[in-house]
Amino acid sequence: MMRAESGGKSAWRTFPSWVMVVGRLAVVRFMAERASSRSAEFHGTHAVLVPQPQAATAS
């Protein structure tokens, strides 16, 4: 059964978010800015957690 009442504020608008931008991915950077996310930029491949775990978790 579906209800017509609202669930309240959307969590994605009120909770902070973090994004890892790797390399020159302009689309990811654009979406992070659009969502007002905190972002950290890294150089490397999409699997940045493997070669740089300390840098990725410190941000």
In angstroms, the CA 15 to CA 41 distance is: 21
pLDDT at residue 59 in the model:
57
- Closest by Cα among 14, 57, 17 to 39: 17
Mean pLDDT, 10 residues at a time, the chain of 59 residues: 70 81 80 86 72 69
What is the reported pTM? 0.51
Domain that holds residue 49: 18-58
Number of domains in the chain: 1
Does residue 44 lie within any of the structural domains?
Answer: yes
Residue 32 is assigned to a structural domain of this protein: yes
Would you state the structure tokens that stand for residue 32, as one six-digit string? 């992070």
> Residue 46 has what pLDDT?
67
- How high is the mean pLDDT of the chain? 76
